[in-house]
Structure 1
Amino acid sequence: MLTIGDKFPNYKLKATVTTDMESAFTDIDNSSYEGKWQLVFFYPKDFTFVCPTEIKAFSDLADEFADRDCQVLAASTDTEFVHLAWRQHHEDLKDLQIPMLADVKRELSSALGILHPEEGVATRATFLVDPQGIIRHVSVTDMSVGRNPKEVLRILDALQTDELCPCNWQPGDDVLQAA
């Protein structure tokens, strides 16, 4: 699995961005958000139970991530059409503020090393990528355990200080000074 300090792989994927069939899809690649941080979080499958809670929670914080010059991207190995159907039929997903990437060929999830060995789907992996395309944070949880999007936002805040941040650091708290 790729980790901190590794270059995030090049990608070009279809993304579902609305529930309107006329404007639902677009292509997104590494250069789509050039000069910005990216939060790319993978989830196992559409039409499941834990996944929509996370997707909605990350979407609800999309403006806060944007305030920090960070684009949030959800991703799974489902097709863009499955993403669209799920968004159209799940009340919590109808008004998402974030694109849903379709890694159908599993190229990005394979390059990242996050495919579940038995299920063949992406694990619940989170990557914070800096504007130079370097992975600065990565975490993976069990398929049955949802993430805490506010914690990911806190980690982004800490990374953007370029300082030493102690345990439980919050924006506005003192950073550590090296002796």
Structure 2
Amino acid sequence: MLTIGDKFPAYSLKAVESAELPKDFPVLNQDSFEGKWKVYMFWPKDFTFVCPTEIVAFGELNEDFADRDAVLIGGSTDSEFVHVAWRQSRDDLKAVTYPWLADIKKELSAALGILDKEEGVANRATFIVDPDGIIRFVSVNDLSVGRNPKEVIRVLDALQTDELCPCNWQKGEETLKAA
């Protein structure tokens, strides 16, 4: 699995940005949103139970990510058509505004090392990537356990200080000074 300090891999994937079936799906790659921090959050499968709770919770913080000059990008190994159908099937997912990558060939998930060995789908993985394309944070959860998006915001805040941040540090608190 790729980790802290590794370059986020190159990719070119179709994305879904709403519940509307577009004429053409936009294609995103590692250079999309140049100069921005990127927060990638992968989930195992569309039309499941834990996944929408995470997708909606991250979506509720989308403006908070944007305020931090970060772009939220979701993704799974489902197709762009499955993504659209799932968004259309649930009002809470219709309201989500960040793009979802369709990694149907599993190339990005494999390059990241997050494919579940038993299921062959993406694990619940989160990557914070700096504007230079370097991975600065990685978190991977078991398929049955959802994430805490507020913790991802906290870590992003800490990374953006470029300072030493103690345990449970929150934005606005003092950072540590090396003696």
Q: Could you say which TM-score interval applies, normalised by the shorter chain?
A: over 0.9
Cα distance in 2 for residues equivalent to 1:23 and 1:71: 24
Aligned residue identity for 2:86: W
Tell me the alpha carbon deviations over residues 128-160 of structure 1, each in whole angstroms, 9 at most, x when there is no partner: 000000000001011100000000000000000
Tell me the alpha carbon deviations over residues 89-134 of structure 1, each in whole angstroms, 9 at most, x when there is no partner: 0121011111010000000000000000110000001000000000
Cα distance in 2 for residues equivalent to 1:137 and 1:64: 18
Q: Which residue of 1 aligns with 2:65?
A: 65
Cα distance in 2 for residues equivalent to 1:151 and 1:20: 31
Structure 2 counterparts to residues 91-170 of structure 1, below 5 A: 91-170=91-170
Tell me the alpha carbon deviations over residues 7-30 of structure 1, each in whole angstroms, 9 at most, x when there is no partner: 000111000111122357211111
SS at match of 2:115: coil
Percent of aligned positions that are identical: 65
Q: Which residue of 2 aligns with 1:5?
A: 5
- Whether the 8 Å CA contact 1:60–1:97 is kept in 2: the answer is no
- Whether the 8 Å CA contact 1:17–1:24 is kept in 2: the answer is no
SS at match of 1:110: helix
Cα distance in 2 for residues equivalent to 1:14 and 1:46: 16
Give me the TM-score of the superposition, normalised by structure 1.
0.98
* Residue 81 (structure 1) aligned with residue 81 (structure 2): yes
Aligned residue identity for 2:77: T
| 4+ long deviations beyond 3 Å | none
* Residue 26 (structure 1) aligned with residue 32 (structure 2): no
Return the offset for 1:31: 1.6
Aligned residue identity for 1:125: A
- Whether the 8 Å CA contact 1:114–1:123 is kept in 2: the answer is yes
Kindly report the root-mean-square deviation, in angstroms, between the aligned alpha carbons of the 2 structures.
Answer: 0.9
Unmatched segments (≥5 aa) in structure 1: none
Return the offset for 1:167: 0.3
Aligned residue identity for 1:37: W
Residue 114 to residue 172, structure 1, CA distance change in 2 (3 Å): same
Aligned residue identity for 1:176: L
Question: Which range moves more in the overlay, 77-86 or 13-22?
Answer: 13-22
Cα distance in 2 for residues equivalent to 1:105 and 1:125: 17
Aligned residue identity for 1:30: Q
Aligned residue identity for 2:146: G
Cα distance in 2 for residues equivalent to 1:78 and 1:158: 32
- Whether the 8 Å CA contact 1:24–1:84 is kept in 2: the answer is no
